[in-house]
Amino acid sequence: MPDFNDLPKAVRETIYGMHLTYRKPINQAKHKKIVKYKSTYGPDRIKFFAPPLLAVSAEIEQEAAPFYYTSNVFIIEDIWPQLTTYTSPKHLKLVTRAIAVWGNTYATYTFNAVKRLKGLTELRIQVDELALLKKELGKGQSRKNKRSVPDDPSPQQQLVMLQAPGMAALTALPKIRLVEFVKKVQGKISYGGPIPGGVLETQIAPKLMGRKPVVPKKKKGKKSKFPFLSLSAELRNIIYELHLSIAGTVEPSTKEPTSALKRSTALSDANVPESVLSLLAVNRQIHDEAVGIFYHVNALVFPDTLHLHAFILALGSKRQECVRDLTIHYADYAPGGLSLTELAFSQLKRLTGLRTLKIILQGDIAKKIIGSSWNSNYHMRSANPASVRGMKELFELRGVTSIEVTDEVLDQRYQQAKDSTAYPDFPPRSRHACVVKVHSALQHFNAALAEAQKGNVQDEIFDDDELAHGR
């Protein structure tokens, strides 16, 4: 009787290809259907599952297995991926191409599953890097003072991606020939993807592919020392500035550097990088020469006024003189009626070299516009920007060449008003009319604040009865 194995090998392989290869990537649900997966328990439990064709004979299994496991692309996702859990190790070694879906919760399980694919040569990781980054940057913020995360995060903020869930397991993967980060796919919709030139593309992908910078071997023998201090002061200052200046903004923090991966047993060789300020510990002369340059050349951002207060008090007088550029996300704390914001802003006078100051309110002025939308009856209650806690202390500063107070919520509502076809002729008691009026008052306030830096303080700015009483 003719046997299947009597067919020519080319014919058998054609049959294997038609039966076991698929044009689209195989996700978990499809894989379970192909291998006839079913959950079983007890002594008769099936440990491994494979396409039924592979169970016909050992010879057919050997010939046909590569057509399913090597020719197809498998999608790895979820907390319990059946592909790696219920597939024989000898079959897992045949998988060469995979797509890993980087979720917010179970990323570690996903990448640990990928690690079991010993023969993997191509890995594409679906990710929404910006969404993951925003989630990490938003950690630790209270709901009340939660600030928005920009769609174009600074280089320092992008480093927080190294703290994202699953990063430790991802970087523990063995070398893979090709690694790409791609957009996430949901049905026919694709979204997200890596940030162009971000951490995933410039640091993680090269690391996974084993592309490490070539470091010249150190020659054995007597170590030579470069006479750095023999350089001219001008050259040393240029070197200090190149070493200490950071692209984008800097958010001072006492936490571990964001360029450090989260500690994990899978990363025994992960070392926490030193701060760039370690340069100041070389010797006293370098400390005295470079101590102010970091604060002079970088734009500092504070998540709230409490952090600002702690920062100023922790600085020595020499460093305080060097701070030139500050952005402060406003968040007022008033335990027992004592405003910590007023206390923090009063300390700004210590920063005698300050030239750029921006205060970002989180709706503190916009919320003064109150009323009801159903009858368009809005009015303002103490909406004078000068009445916000801490604003009076800003008028005591001198020499700040660029100073501005903004309100993110007010700016959004003002843009909505400008986009209205009725702009600028709104009914007097409408919300848009109140928004336009308060926005104009904030511009007037900023103009008075700029004049105060020259010593021209307009005391009447604090007695604007029209805005103070909502008329």
Residues comprising the chain, all counted: 471
- The per-residue pLDDT for range 55-83, each reduced to its tens digit, is 899 999 999 999 999 999 999 987 666 67
pLDDT averaged over every residue in the chain: 84
Q: Which residues pair with 326 in a beta bridge?
A: 300, 357
Question: Does the pTM exceed 0.85?
Answer: no
Average pLDDT over residues 338-344: 88
For residue 135, the model assigns a pLDDT of 87
Phi, psi of 429 (to 5 degrees): -100, 15
Give the up-direction half-sphere exposure of residue 258: CA atoms within 13 A in the CB hemisphere: 17
Q: How many helices (H) and strands (E) does the chain have?
A: 21, 13
25 or 145, which is more confident?
25
State the Cα–Cα distance between residues 174 and 73, nearest whole angstrom.
19
Question: For 27-40, what is each residue's pLDDT tens digit?
Answer: 888 998 998 887 76
Residue 241 pLDDT more than 60? yes
61 Cβ partners below 8 Å, 6+ apart? Answer: 50, 54, 55
Is the pLDDT confidence value at 215 over 50? Answer: no
CA-nearest of 352, 336, 452 to 392 is 452
Q: Residue range 149-177: average pLDDT?
A: 85
Q: Which of 86, 85, 164 is nearest to 125 (CA)?
A: 164
Q: State the pLDDT confidence band at 6, using cuts at 50, 70 and 90.
A: confident
Has residue 360 got a pLDDT over 60?
Answer: yes
Q: How confident is the model at residue 369 (pLDDT cuts 50, 70, 90)?
A: confident
pLDDT for residue 468: 44
Q: What confidence score (pLDDT) does residue 274 get?
A: 58
Q: Distance of CA 320 to CAs 265, 326, 340, 459, Å?
A: 41, 12, 20, 29
Q: State the pLDDT at residue 134.
A: 87
Residues 273-332: tens digit of each pLDDT = 556 678 888 888 998 888 888 889 999 999 888 889 989 988 888 889 999 999 999 988
The pLDDT of 117-125, averaged and rounded, is: 94
